[in-house]
Amino acid sequence: MLDRRVGELVAFPTETVYGLGGDATDEAAVARIFAAKRRPRFNPLIVHVPGLAEAEVLARFDERARSAARRFWPGPLSLVLPRRPECGLSLLVSAGLDTVALRAPGHAVAQALLRTAGRPIAAPSANRSGRVSPTIAAHVAAELGDSVALILDAGACSVGIESTVLDLTGAVPALLRPGGITFEQLSAIFGPVEMAVAGEDAPRAPGRLPSHYAPGRPLRLDVVDARPGEALLVFGPEAPPGFAAVLFLSQSGDLGEAAANLFAMLRRLDRPQFSAIAVMPIPHEGLGRAINDRLRRAAAPRT
Ligand code: TXA
Ligand code: MG
């Protein structure tokens, strides 16, 4: 049986992606997460809780934050809020900021783990820093198998793309990372939502550094015509001719299905025999914003 008191790490499924979990109140456990991922220590982690009651102990919620939690939790939304001084959370988990990102995941296994642990769990995506997030347990085993005491395997993640990160510390809600809850869903509740542009003001959400989510092969976006040796990710019913391999993100043009398939298909096409991974245009709406955000980062020059 896993002993949480010695600060071991557990990989676990959420509805978005697999997380690399550790006791968020244990500085050593949190340090182990950063080390396993080779993650720069200026990039803070998301702290997971079962729900709003447990979250309010850790951060200050105003009515706006409470209504967001009531509407979207448990689910793929992380809220950046002021840390309570007495929260007991590791300092490293917030990378020294006076804010903390909180999320109540909807996955039954994540909920069971959180309730059994009886404490908040810090969990970034269970991949090496800068690489593609894992949506099945085998991805975690391949990349971080040596760093974790246990991998809880519950099959494929249903959303497949990370949570939306929403900063509620300012007067206007700021979208730091598009994700499983869409801009349109947030605007319907909050009215104006500021779009924090990637690369700018990077420490606010360092996960938004231009190059991120990168496969090993080069990526080419908004592709309509084949170049020699390319593999293609198709969106829609038909693949243009001339590609060395094709995978369909969604033949029916469903953005939810495309998001769920994105990371696993990027990994499947990330092979030296292909000159590049080409991706057809994806609409910039709903979950398409999150998909395009990840693709743009994956295609960015490597830092
Ligand atoms: O879906 C998800 O969010 C997954 C699952 C496991 O919950 N987790 C995840 O964590 O994607 P990670 O560490 O890969 O991404 C966390 C993002 C980063 O972009 C980080 O910069 C941002 O959240 N973040 C965390 N704490 C923050 C804070 N206090 N202020 C601003 N951004 C923060
Ligand atoms: Mg990540």
Give the ligand with the smallest distance to the CA of 128: 2
Q: Report the half-sphere exposure of 246 (CA within 13 A, side-chain side).
A: 17
Write the residue with the smallest CA distance to atom 17 of ligand 1.
Answer: 207
Tens digit of each residue's pLDDT (9 = 90 or more) over 156-188: 999 999 999 999 999 999 999 999 999 999 999
The pLDDT confidence band at residue 212, using thresholds 50, 70 and 90, is confident
H-type helices in the chain, by residue range? 27-37, 52-56, 63-72, 108-117, 137-144, 183-190, 255-269, 287-299
Q: What is the pLDDT of residue 301?
A: 83
pLDDT of residue 3: 52
pLDDT at residue 200 above 70? no
pLDDT for position 149:
93
Q: Tell me the CA–centroid distance for residue 269 and ligand 1, in Å.
A: 26
**pTM of the entire structure?**
0.95
3-class state of residue 219 by DSSP: strand
Q: Return the pLDDT at 66.
A: 98
Does residue 60 have a pLDDT over 60? Answer: yes
Mutate to test the pocket of ligand 1, among 46, 152, 167, 201 (most ligand atoms within 8 A of CB): 46
In 3D space, the residue among 92, 4, 82, 116 whose CA is nearest the CA of residue 44 turns out to be 92
- Which contacts (CB < 8 Å, 24+ apart) does range 181-186 have? 181/72, 181/75, 181/76, 181/77, 182/286, 182/287, 182/289, 182/290, 183/289, 184/285, 184/286, 185/72, 186/68
Residue 191 zone, left/alpha/beta (φ > 0; ψ -120 to 50; rest): left
Atom 18 in ligand 1: residue holding the nearest Cα: 207
Supply the mean pLDDT for the chain.
Answer: 94
Q: Which of 77, 78, 181, 263 to mutate to test the pocket of ligand 1 (most atoms within 8 A of CB)?
A: 78
Q: Is the pLDDT of residue 241 over 90?
A: yes
Ligand 1 contacts CB of residue 289 (under 6 A): no
Residues with CB under 5 A from ligand 2 (ion): 125
Query: How much is the average pLDDT of 24-47?
Result: 97
Which segment of 41-45, 48-52, 109-113, 199-203 scores lowest on mean pLDDT? 199-203
